[in-house]
Structure 1
Amino acid sequence: MAPLFFLHVPRSGGASLCHAAGLAFPAGRIFLLYGKDDPSTHPFAREVMECRDDVPVGERLRMISDYVSGTGVAFYASHLSAGHLPCFDPRRAVTLLRRPYDRVLSHYASARAQGRTDLSLEAFIEDPRNQNVQARALGPVDPDALAVVGVLDDYPGFVARLNRTFGLDLAVIHRNRGNPPADAAHSPALRAYVERLNASDLDLYRRAAARA
């Protein structure tokens, strides 16, 4: 059976689901792919994606796909869309989305705290790399084809639907909670500006909320 694929959009509550999966599945049946410097990244993924630059990207994805489908992996999660893997099955895939305004401010606060940006909030928001991150994170995947699509505003409901769909008993655990910058948290003008720059993400979120 194909694993449960979690399409993990950055700063959208996915760490909570990964933690719950870590408690529900044996460590050997979890495959996480988050870059060579992340200690949670599976050793095979680190070797294939980061250490074998002589191998074309498509071949590396096939190698990971073969490993995931052939070794009894039960839970796969990554910021890299699982839709790029040949073994991907949308009927066994889920994702969690967040209001674009909240996600962008959370992304900015995290980047500042970790020293990954020295941009002002306005410059960060206007950088195209930080716009419509959720739509781009899904890659080639049609969200309407996924088994479960949830929204962070109703995280317990998302977990409940996931459990019903796949016969699991994942716990509702909240990790990495953070607040937006205090001076921006209640700015209607900023919210409208962020939503305009992230129109694709806003459409995704509204569709997911209607489906939840």
Structure 2
Amino acid sequence: MAGQPPFLFLHIPRTAGTTLNRLLERNFPPGSVLSLYTRDDFAQNAVIDQSRLDGIRLIQGHVLLTDYDAFTFYDTPVRAVTFLREPVSRVISEYHFLRTWPGQHLYELLNRENMSLAEYVTSSHKLLRYKGGNFMTRVLSGLDPDSRPEEALSRAQANLRDRFLAFGLTGDFDASLLLLADVMGLSDLLYERQNSLRRPEAARATDEERALVASRNVLDAALYRFAETLFAERVAAGGKAFTARLARHKLLVAKFQNVCRLLDSQAGAPGGAIENPKK
């Protein structure tokens, strides 16, 4: 492939990826972004001619790398980025999202079986086996955390530190965005929050449910603590200049989102259809 390898956004569900994707798409030319999310997306792109990949600058989707040793996708070298989220909140958010959005492929299964959160994270169903337990470790390592836990965690941490071009944390979305912008050459950093999930009081997890989710995601918790430390180091490395830049960015984003809310209200847009990156 001529020039630099394409970027690959490994989108872990419920990490503010929809908001990020909309922003990323504005920063790349039309026709240069390949999205892999739906069955149709994967069916249409089961095989991709190299000449088409030559024009792709960004691949985004709920995918795994083809080769974790060489960091390739479709046998093509890629520069991977991703976002992580506190694992208990991420799993609970994913469960409620899948139960309440009919467009998702697991919506029918979860509602037909009236599956609880506890059942979701412990299920051996082939579609759910990997969903509720150490999913972030699996995505970052390419290994099965159930059979090779220590190796999977160690490899995920090393990949995050040494192999991923950059990563972000959902809870520090704006700082994460600036770190990604520096390595991806992003210039348009304004965003309107997308794909919100606002749960009713009754749908929130109990202490017992949260404890169960935590017990199923011990590796992801360790990975997230590692990521928080590494992220803080990278932000601190930017010094006062980064701090000032972040403050300016947050001010601009706040003004932009105020304008968006005003326009939405004037157009009669329903509230609640936005995603808070910290949710």
> C-alpha root-mean-square deviation of aligned residues, in Å?
2.3
Q: What residue is the counterpart of 2:23 in the other structure?
A: 20
Question: 2:160: which partner in 1?
Answer: 143
**Alignment check: 8 A CA contact 2:12 2:82 kept:** yes
State the percentage of identical aligned residues. 26
Aligned-partner Cα distance in 1 for 2:66–2:190: 26
Is 2:61 the counterpart of 1:78? yes
Calculate the TM-score normalised by the size of structure 1: 0.78
Q: Is the 8 A contact 1:150 1:209 kept in 2?
A: no
**Which deviations, in whole Å up to 9, do the C-alpha atoms of 1:112-149 show, x marking residues without a partner?**
11233130122112224322222223353722221112
Corresponding position of 2:246: none
Q: Which residues of 2 match residues 82-93 of structure 1 at below 5 A? A: 82-84=65-67, 85=73, 86-89=75-78, 92-93=79-80
TM-score using structure 2 length = 0.61
CA-to-aligned-CA distance 1:179-210 (integer Å, 9 cap, x gap): 45634647444333212201122122112111
Offset from partner CA, 1:82-134 (integer Å, 9 cap, x none): 34422233xx2210011111111111111111233130122112224322222
For residues 39-63 of structure 1, the C-alpha deviation after alignment (integer angstroms, 9 at most, x for no partner) is xx3xxx53242xxxxxxxxxx4xx4
2:127 is equivalent to residue 102 of structure 1: no
Structure 1 residues 189 and 181, CA, compared in 2 at 3 Å: closer, same or farther? farther
State how many pairs are aligned. 190
Counterparts of 1:162 and 1:184, CA distance in 2: 34
Contact 1:79-1:137 at 8 Å conserved across structures: no
Equivalent residues of 2:121, 2:213 under 8 A apart: yes
| Residues 143 and 181 (structure 1), Cα distance of their counterparts in 2 relative to 1, 3 Å cut | farther
Asked whether 1:211 is paired with 2:208, we answer no
Query: Which residues in structure 2 correspond to 1:118-129 (within 5 Å)?
Result: 118=111, 119-127=115-123, 128-129=129-130
For residue 97 of structure 1, what is the amino acid of its counterpart? L
Counterpart among 160, 178, 183 of residue 197 in structure 2:
178
- Distance change >3 Å, CA 10–CA 186, structure 1 → 2: closer
- CA 1:170/1:135 → structure 2, altered by over 3 Å: closer, same or farther? farther
Larger Rg: 2
Unaligned runs of 5+ in 2: 68-72, 124-128, 143-155, 232-279
